[in-house]
Amino acid sequence: MHFLTIDDLTTDELAGVVDDAAALKRAQADGMPHEALPGRSLAMLFEKPSTRTRVSFEVGMTQLGGHGVFLGDDDIQLGRGEPVADTARALGRYVDAVMARVFDHGDLEEIAAHADVPVVNGLTDDAHPCQALADLLTLREEVGDSGTVAWVGDGNNVAASFTIGAAMMGYDVNVATPEGYGLDDSVIERAEEHGDVTVTTDPEAATADAEVVYTDVWVSMGQEDEREQRLDAFEGFQVDADLLGDAAFMHCLPANRGEEVTADVIDGEQSVVWQQAENRLHAQKALLVELVD
């Protein structure tokens, strides 16, 4: 089984991974060994740079008793013109799973078609399901198994995976994006198959009854040429203390203080972003055990 989008898991499988992530987090806090994947190897293929994705997967595999192999553009033939399918076929003969962080979701799908081992989406331009797993663990810790959550800002890959995943887990989801920067209709349809999703262009309406408010950068990697246009479009979508109200604050990081969020919010007492970042480790370990064990 591959994990390319959050809804590659069934609702029961998703809940099970979140349950297992919580158990692995408790085990680590109690100092209990949990080497569930002894001797197993994970190829970590990176076209896009990352702090949290690399460290959480590499450390996670070590804690599970296995090994993570970092493969950047300068380390493999893929960056020198080798077909994606050939790279995938070779990796599948060496390792027990592949995590790929790439730009084009189609490249990820081609890796999955040819690798002959489980393939995990570490991020594409379309989806970031591993972040969503960590988000869902954080939601459970903060508000329990139900409640209303709000996404404010760009309808990007993180927003897509979070909206679908939160709906699958039974949360009501409010999404506020500027005109022209919303979620694809297909994403909304997939989310609505599982729960209630409200889409608006009004951040105040989206956050009015929310227990958690989530945002991300307005200018993602590869969008630098659109920076000024995007800053103008997202005026009024900054999460400040007034918009946040009594809700908890989430952000997938890295963050630009003074743009999508004010410093007093992300660094304040209602912020759970560091808990959320830590949960990447526990959620991904649970996922790897589900896929590889």
Could you give the residue numbers annotated as active site? 101, 128, 131, 216, 252, 280
Residue 44 labeled ligand binder: no
Residue 238 labeled ligand binder: no
Residue 14 labeled ligand binder: no
Q: Would you say 255 and 273 are in contact if contact means Cβ atoms under 8 Å apart?
A: yes
Question: Using CB atoms within 10 A of its CB, is residue 45 exposed (0-12), middle (13-18) or buried (19+)?
Answer: buried
**Which of these, 137, 139, 145, 190, lies nearest to 163 by C-alpha position?**
190
Encoding tokens for residue 239? 């999460």
Residue 128 labeled ligand binder: yes
Residue 38 labeled ligand binder: no
Residue 101 labeled ligand binder: yes
Residue 216 labeled ligand binder: yes
Residue 146 labeled ligand binder: no
Residue 80 CB contacts under 8 Å (≥ 6 apart), including other chains = none
Encoding tokens for residue 75? 């380390």
Q: Is the four-CA dihedral 164, 212, 275, 55 of positive or negative sign?
A: positive
Residue 121 labeled ligand binder: no
Residue 169 CB contacts under 8 Å (≥ 6 apart), including other chains = 11, 14, 15, 18, 136, 139, 140, 145
Residue 51 labeled ligand binder: yes
Question: Using CB atoms within 10 A of its CB, is residue 164 exposed (0-12), middle (13-18) or buried (19+)?
Answer: buried
Residue 220 labeled ligand binder: yes
Encoding tokens for residue 24? 């692995």
Dihedral (Cα; 81, 84, 86, 89), 10-degree rounding: 150
Q: What is the residue type of 280?
A: R
Residue 129 labeled ligand binder: yes
Residue 223 labeled ligand binder: no
Instruction: For residue 101, list its beta bridge partners.
Output: 46, 123
Instruction: Please give the annotated binding residues for carbamoyl phosphate, written as ranges.
Output: 50-53, 77, 101, 128-131, 252-253, 280
Instruction: Please give the annotated binding residues, written as ranges.
Output: 50-53, 77, 101, 128-131, 157, 216, 220-221, 252-253, 280
Instruction: Please give the annotated binding residues for L-ornithine, written as ranges.
Output: 157, 216, 220-221
